Structure formats: C-alpha cells, structure tokens
C-alpha cells in the first residue's frame, strides 16, 4: 500500500481528531473527556507519519491547535498526555530499531521460489508493526504458520485485528527465541543488521532462512538477492551461514 504524501497524513489525522472532538461534545460528553478521546485518536493516527518527528507532529497537532484556538482550556498536566500516548505507541526502547515503514505488498515476490519451505513451517516477522510484512509472507507461504512479534502493544493490537490468521504477540524481537522458526523476516535499518546477523548465527537451525528487505548485513554472505516490485532488494541468508 503506497504511503500518503506529506503533509496529507497530518491533515487527515488532525481532521479526525477535530471531528471526533466536536462529535463527542455534541453528544454531551464532558469537554475534558472529549479532549482526552480526541487526543488519543490523534496519537494513534500518528502511525501515518513516516519519521519520528512527523509522528510527533501528528500526535501533538490537535492539542496544540485546540489550545491556541481557544477551543479548550488545558490544565498544565494535560500537555503530558499526547507525549505519553506517543510513547505508548512507540516505546522509547524500540526507537533504536526501524521506524514504522510498511512492507510493500509485492516486496517479497519470488521469495518462496528461492527459499522454499514445507507446509506448516513457522515463519516470523520480527517487528511486525501493523502487519504488512505478515500479509506479504502469507501471500508467499500460504501453507506456513505465520508469527509476528511487536514491542508496541497498540500496534500489536491493530496488527492482530488486521491479521487474524497470524499469531501475533507483544514482545521484544531481540529477546524472542528464533530457534523454532524456519524463516525470520526483517525490515529494519542498517544499524540493526549486525545484531540481527549475530542473533541468526546463534539461534537459527541449519536450513533456516534470514530474510531482510532492503538492508543487507555485511557480516554474512547472501545466498540470493531478489528485486522487489518497487525496486528494493531482498537479501536471503541461509544457515549454516557463510561469513562475508
């Protein structure tokens, strides 16, 4: 699914928050509670942002606008609310990993040919976000048992709703045991790949695959390199791994 051009995600999120605020007031809800609900909606809609700063801007846009416009009088402590909601969706210890970049629908095209798996094999999307990677994996491996792990529990909840056929849990991808999986899929960032390679070497069984969208690890020699539909490379590594 293509990402909306900036600043359209912010405009849509702010419009959602304002519309919800007005609707709740019209329904007779207390202004403070209406502000809370609308701010929460804005913070959750921050997943539309492509960078951390854009997500923060989306989350803070409604409360800032409501104060400056005089539509609502916020107590001093209320300014912490959008920040707390943003931290809930994006926990601080997960910021060192990849931002929320969805896996394009056709990014893994041809993966099942290069990395065949038996029916019932377990595959893991490490850091599954909203579930786009899970959907791409299911498209490639319809007979596989698809798993996902996501640190942010709001994102994990949305992911589980979007992918009811997958087994999605909240947790740290770096503390998750990779040994039960025949394939681990990553869409992280270059700084994470050395850690991913070390974990794969320590835990993946012979014959298991490490698959990375866009970013390669310089520590291991790839078995194959695919070209996704949008031009991004897909790097395939198979245990036992060969050093680069």
Alpha-carbon separation of residue 115 from 63, 183, 225 (angstroms): 48, 9, 11
Predicted local distance difference test score (pLDDT) of residue 87: 58
How many structural domains does the chain have?
Answer: 2
- CB-CB neighbours of 5 under 10 Å: 8
Range of the domain at 57: 8-90
Residue 243 DSSP code: B
Is 197 inside any structural domain?
Answer: yes
From first to last of its 244 residues, the chain has per-residue pLDDT tens of 456 777 788 888 888 888 898 898 889 888 878 888 888 888 888 777 766 667 777 877 787 777 666 655 555 555 556 556 655 555 544 544 455 578 888 899 999 999 999 999 999 999 998 899 999 999 999 999 999 999 887 788 889 999 999 999 999 999 999 999 999 999 988 888 999 999 999 999 999 999 999 999 999 999 999 988 778 899 999 999 999 8
Burial class (CB in 10 A: 0-12, 13-18, 19+), 69: exposed
The reply to whether omega before 7 is within 30° of 0 (cis) is yes
User: CA-CA distance, 59 to 82, in Å (whole number)?
Assistant: 6
* Chain-centre distance for alpha carbon 70: 35
- Give CA–CA dist 140/67, Å, rounded: 49
Instruction: Mark whether 86 and 156 lie in a shared domain.
Output: no
What does the block give as tokens for 117? Answer: 């798996």
Structure tokens at 100: 């929320």
Q: Is residue 133 domain-shared with residue 58, that is, in the same domain? A: no
- pLDDT of 240: 96
State residue 2's pLDDT score: 52
Q: What is the pTM of this model?
A: 0.66
pLDDT of residue 95: 47
pLDDT given for residue 140 in this prediction: 96
The answer to whether residues 168 and 217 belong to one domain is yes
Same domain? For 81 and 119 the reply is: no
Distance between CA atoms of residues 210 and 173, nearest Å? 14
Q: Quick one: how far is CA 81 from the chain centroid? A: 22
What pLDDT is recorded for position 1?
A: 44
């Amino acid at each position: 699914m293509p990402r909306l051009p900036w600043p359209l995600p912010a405009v849509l999120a702010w419009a959602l928050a304002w519309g919800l605020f007005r609707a709740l007031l019209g329904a007779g809800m207390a202004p403070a509670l209406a502000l809370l609900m609308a701010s929460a909606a804005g913070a959750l809609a921050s997943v539309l942002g492509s960078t951390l700063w854009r997500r923060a801007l989306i989350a803070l846009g409604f409360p800032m606008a409501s104060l400056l416009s005089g539509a609502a009088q916020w107590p001093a402590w209320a300014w912490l609310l959008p920040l707390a909601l943003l931290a809930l969706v994006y926990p601080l210890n997960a910021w060192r990993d990849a931002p929320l970049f969805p896996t394009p629908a056709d990014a893994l095209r041809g993966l099942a040919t290069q990395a065949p798996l038996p029916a019932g094999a377990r595959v893991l999307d490490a850091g599954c976000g909203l579930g786009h990677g899970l959907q791409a994996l299911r498209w490639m491996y319809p007979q596989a048992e698809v798993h996902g792990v996501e640190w942010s529990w709001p994102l994990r909840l949305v992911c589980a709703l979007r992918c009811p056929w997958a087994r999605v849990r909240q947790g740290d991808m770096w503390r998750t045991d990779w040994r039960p999986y025949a394939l681990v899929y990553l869409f992280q960032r270059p700084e994470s790949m050395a850690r991913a390679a070390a974990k794969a070497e320590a835990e993946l069984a012979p014959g298991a695959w490490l698959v990375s969208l866009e970013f390669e690890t310089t520590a291991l020699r790839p078995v194959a390199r695919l070209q996704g539909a949008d031009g991004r490379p897909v790097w395939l590594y198979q245990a036992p791994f060969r050093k680069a």
